[in-house]
Structure 1
């Protein structure tokens, strides 16, 4: 193996897809100290960006004080930031890059091949500011279908310092790496780099193949932390290179920082699984898979089926009867999965029994068995694997006489409806009050209430969530749904149990019996 190559670690940038680009200060300090001691030449510390919608954390914007701190912690390393080309234009560069000059050596650009010509204009402006320029060109596995953008490399050797082949889908094999390198070399003499994703667990062998065929920069992240299935594990590459005698390694420093990120991994659970393997094998976008997996709403089988339908351009083929019933009920009690729906179940059931013109809508199946003996009409808003959870919760399907409600046809995730409940399953005609989600139990439950013509909605069991990544996403989604239903104005919506959600009127269920 040739010795002329360098390693770039991009943990803080790529790992930010899991932490929303926020990292514990002590963790970052330990990471930087390890980088300073390890045989790694470049450290990519995050994005620089114009303001974008929504919350994105510290290492998405990398303020100057962050760059200054990290530079002091890693004085011998070449620091790198990355620009997302789709959001950045030359007129943004002065504000974005002038503060970087004392600290940053290279500016990389994440580039969709279809925007390559536009990226060249941006690159020339970055180069004129005195930075090394790296092109991170995405979707490597699809270049063979149309590599015409590579013709634009001719004459750019003095503009681009490194041209990275990015295996965005994590689906290339060593032979693909070799062929792509030959293709790029036929167009340009620019220094080559490789950024491998690990959907098929090929990141290491693909990176070694890239080195053997002339790539001089290789990306990795600690524990493989990165978008979707993650990346080449920096510690794996270093350990392999140490075993071959190519470099010496301080395993004490390495093991300490790896342990810290393994603790983080136990919470965020990055790494490959069957859906990521499928998306990699068929070059399907990881963003959707990451959202499905991250919400912990769907079983792996459902996600793979959805990806298979996406690959084959198939729509869900199960069409159900549409829920009907305008002006059917005056009031709906919508039950979330929070503990309060069970803790206060006696009072909730008594409240429902006071008026036969009240229905109960379950946003999910968690408390189904608690309410089976209620005489009021009940509806189950089901998504993901809630159908299976419903059957498991109630045990004996003969006890179930309620209506099961599914999202509108066609459903992205496909529909798996157990035979036992098909006879009383219906679907919504549409979701017409929000665009936040079309398949969360909350949105299905609220739309069911609207379609049943209710005027009053009592919420119970929408307690809120802790601050873990999965729960944060669900809580954020639920808050958006609630905000949209409140905008309608014509409904009286009250939470009758304690809730952390904002903007909702709260009234104790026990006060309703006075």
Structure 2
């Protein structure tokens, strides 16, 4: 008979894990569709988000879970409710103030626990348990547990304290045999319910979860459409379909189809799910946080990300150390060229203006518009971030005679270094980024710092059009927000930035190339 009929429970954590893509904001209608579906499906628990002390960046309501939101959610669901704490962020002395208004509305407090912080987690768990909640440890990085001295021996201290112990495949890289072994070892030390939370980097989420159930797990996690950090999780709809087909679990497929359709529309915007970089990170037990940023918030190529992951797995800081960028020549005017379509649209006027300027250099933040300037006898600097060297090669087909110098981010570069072979002697790296601590390896920050190094008195920008319209992706929105912040921070150092082509960036002073010719 079905393992699920023996008491194995399903916890859906879409609103918590999915928040990594939405900053923990969800449309009210989507949440209602989610709750309606969960009420009709054989799901035992819903984890609705984090409870957290204040952070400096913006994070939405399902990261902080105000009391009114918890009460409202509780009134609209028939399921047991859990929320999660990030243990490393919580002072045990403040936990009563943090969770006091959850009493009577939340059934279980789960704690995300780094396995090397078990002692601290135990102290926090004591405070939480005293408040009457069920307590779960979501112990991360299970693929590393065997390398942590005394890890399994320490687990016996949790008996009588916690109610659930979760094995979390944080890197999404364990195999079924490892799941079985880990469940058995934990079970030999603990007399509590065992849970499993699998990530899907290697698309092993389903088989690992079914294996955990067969090995004796009492509760397993999933999310609709697999929505979750990085490569995401086991799909709730896949788990339910599998258990229905193989073990007779009763599933309302109309309700399931409705909620899956709602989240699939969101998936088109954010694009979660595994890909080659996530596969490599999972296979090598590398953290997903940076990979997620590289994949979703940067326009790095797969090759660049793979190079970075290989460097990490081999303990290499970077594959090339360059001489420091130190131009002896300074310029009266610098023109920073972005990748926007406005450069081509206004090409004739731009070239007319550039040719008239004395002591002007061109700084290419992107190589996309390099061909526009290939015939000019002006000094031209190319900012090479990630895979930009390949883009430059493709744009100019190996005709590098017009390139004065390539400028790369400060060493070490997590994305690795690719420089076209014929440009290696023309390449140098910045010593540091001086005007911001926000980022040191974006195209924009590199171009602005290069302008500072060249001591340009006037700096003009073209091709920074900004994004607009209904088709703007979340990636483009976040990149635009970052660029805007960099422009404002740069202006604070005392140099105005003027855009000679149309722009939507408020940090750029509007100007017109036509007024200057």
TM-score by length of 1: 0.94
**Residue 8 of structure 1: CA displacement?**
0.1
- Among 34, 44, 65, which residue is 1:41 paired with? 44
**CA offset digits 1:115-152 (Å, max 9, x no partner):** 21111111111111121111111111100111524434
Q: Could you tell me which residue of structure 1 aligns to residue 250 of structure 2?
A: 248
**Residue 444 of structure 1: CA displacement?**
1.4
Stretches of structure 1 lacking an aligned partner (at least 5 in a row): none
Distance 2:445 2:391 in 1: 18
3-state SS, counterpart of residue 329 of structure 1: coil
**Residue 327 of structure 1: CA displacement?**
5.0
3-state SS, counterpart of residue 165 of structure 2: strand
* 2:294 is aligned with 1:289: no
**CA offset digits 1:66-106 (Å, max 9, x no partner):** 222222221x1001111111111223323322222242111
- Among 494, 497, 511, which residue is 1:493 paired with? 497
Q: Could you tell me which residue of structure 2 aligns to residue 61 of structure 1?
A: 64
Distance 2:378 2:12 in 1: 59
Distance 2:157 2:304 in 1: 48
Distance 2:183 2:406 in 1: 54
- Among 191, 216, 230, which residue is 1:214 paired with? 216
**Residue 399 of structure 1: CA displacement?**
6.3
What is the root-mean-square deviation in Å for CA atoms of aligned residues? 2.0
Q: Could you tell me which residue of structure 2 aligns to residue 385 of structure 1?
A: 387
Distance 2:457 2:242 in 1: 66
Is 183-192 or 235-244 further displaced after alignment? 183-192
User: Structure 1 residues 10, 102: CA separation in 2 closer, same or farther (over 3 Å shift)?
Assistant: same
- Contact kept, 8 Å, 1:326 with 1:451, in 2: the verdict is no
In the TM superposition, 1:167-246 aligns within 5 A as 167-246=169-248
**CA offset digits 1:142-177 (Å, max 9, x no partner):** 001115244343353332111111111111111111
**Residue 296 of structure 1: CA displacement?**
4.1
- Among 463, 480, 484, which residue is 1:479 paired with? 484
3-state SS, counterpart of residue 7 of structure 1: strand
- Among 437, 440, 446, which residue is 2:439 paired with? 437
Q: Could you tell me which residue of structure 2 aligns to residue 347 of structure 1?
A: 349
Is 19-28 or 162-171 further displaced after alignment? 19-28
3-state SS, counterpart of residue 158 of structure 2: coil
Q: Could you tell me which residue of structure 1 aligns to residue 25 of structure 2?
A: 22
**Residue 463 of structure 1: CA displacement?**
2.4
3-state SS, counterpart of residue 88 of structure 2: helix
- Among 64, 68, 74, which residue is 1:71 paired with? 74
Q: Could you tell me which residue of structure 1 aligns to residue 96 of structure 2?
A: 94
Distance 1:147 1:179 in 2: 17
**Residue 398 of structure 1: CA displacement?**
5.7
User: Structure 1 residues 4, 246: CA separation in 2 closer, same or farther (over 3 Å shift)?
Assistant: farther
Stretches of structure 2 lacking an aligned partner (at least 5 in a row): none
**Residue 507 of structure 1: CA displacement?**
2.9
Distance 2:346 2:459 in 1: 17
3-state SS, counterpart of residue 244 of structure 1: helix
Distance 2:264 2:365 in 1: 34
3-state SS, counterpart of residue 438 of structure 1: coil
**Residue 417 of structure 1: CA displacement?**
2.1
- Among 505, 509, 512, which residue is 2:513 paired with? 509
**Residue 14 of structure 1: CA displacement?**
0.4
- Contact kept, 8 Å, 1:134 with 1:163, in 2: the verdict is yes
- Contact kept, 8 Å, 1:397 with 1:420, in 2: the verdict is no
- Contact kept, 8 Å, 2:298 with 2:479, in 1: the verdict is no
**Residue 258 of structure 1: CA displacement?**
1.0
- Contact kept, 8 Å, 1:82 with 1:107, in 2: the verdict is yes
**Residue 396 of structure 1: CA displacement?**
5.8
- Contact kept, 8 Å, 2:386 with 2:416, in 1: the verdict is no
- Contact kept, 8 Å, 2:305 with 2:415, in 1: the verdict is yes
**Residue 353 of structure 1: CA displacement?**
2.0
Is 255-264 or 93-102 further displaced after alignment? 93-102
Question: What number of residue pairs does the alignment pair up?
Answer: 511
Q: Could you tell me which residue of structure 1 aligns to residue 449 of structure 2?
A: 447
**CA offset digits 1:320-367 (Å, max 9, x no partner):** 444332452111011112233333333332332222211111111111
- Contact kept, 8 Å, 2:303 with 2:387, in 1: the verdict is no
3-state SS, counterpart of residue 162 of structure 2: coil
- Contact kept, 8 Å, 1:455 with 1:492, in 2: the verdict is no
Is 221-230 or 425-434 further displaced after alignment? 425-434
- Contact kept, 8 Å, 1:363 with 1:381, in 2: the verdict is yes
Is 143-152 or 220-229 further displaced after alignment? 143-152
